[in-house]
Amino acid sequence: MLLQEILSFNEQFVENKEYAPREATKMPKKRMVVVSCMDARLIELLPKALDIHDGDAKVIRNAGGKIASAFDSVMQSVVASVYDLNADEIFLIGHHRCGASQTNPKGTLQKILDRGVASPEILSAIEYAGVDLEKWLFGFDDVNGSTQANVDLVRNHPLIPKDVPVHGLVIDPHTGKLDLIVDGYKALNGMKN
């Protein structure tokens, strides 16, 4: 079982003090916050491609690196990073070939029904309560557009200081190459990206 495998490994990890070289403070040394995708290909690749290590940055991950609304949990974490954890720059990083760009909300809802997690009546009640489930489950069509939308949302957020650079990038999940979508420094200086 996976849980037992993890707990056994963890016991040895702690016993051998393998955590020691990774000890860090909670304040990010590079004073940055990164919002990116939870894609398994990025677990080690993203930090290596950015040259960040334990203690360097606050990293927030979710499906597609998407900021769904101005007051969702991702934005809450970004705001906390800026005000409580001294992050001076924000990096919003999407990635090519993202699963969130290939979502099929109707298919996902059918899988929920097939597993018996919810009945059609439950899904209808959720919709009746004002949740558009297909919209909620939908990722995005274009990673560059999604990254730009994230940048626009954060840059125009009423609680984000106007002097904080908000960068938008897209990483290749195979090579780690970063494509610049929005240079937050240029935006601060009123230049076009």
Annotated binding site for Zn(2+): 37, 39, 95, 98
Q: For residue 74, give Cα distances in angstroms to 4, 81, 161.
A: 31, 11, 17
6: tokens are: 């993890």
Closest CA to 36 of 121, 147, 124, 127: 147
Binding residues: 37, 39, 95, 98
Q: Which residues fall within 8 angstroms of residue 126, CB to CB, at 6 or more apart? A: 118, 133
- How buried is residue 28: exposed, middle or buried, by Cβ count under 10 Å (0-12/13-18/19+)? buried
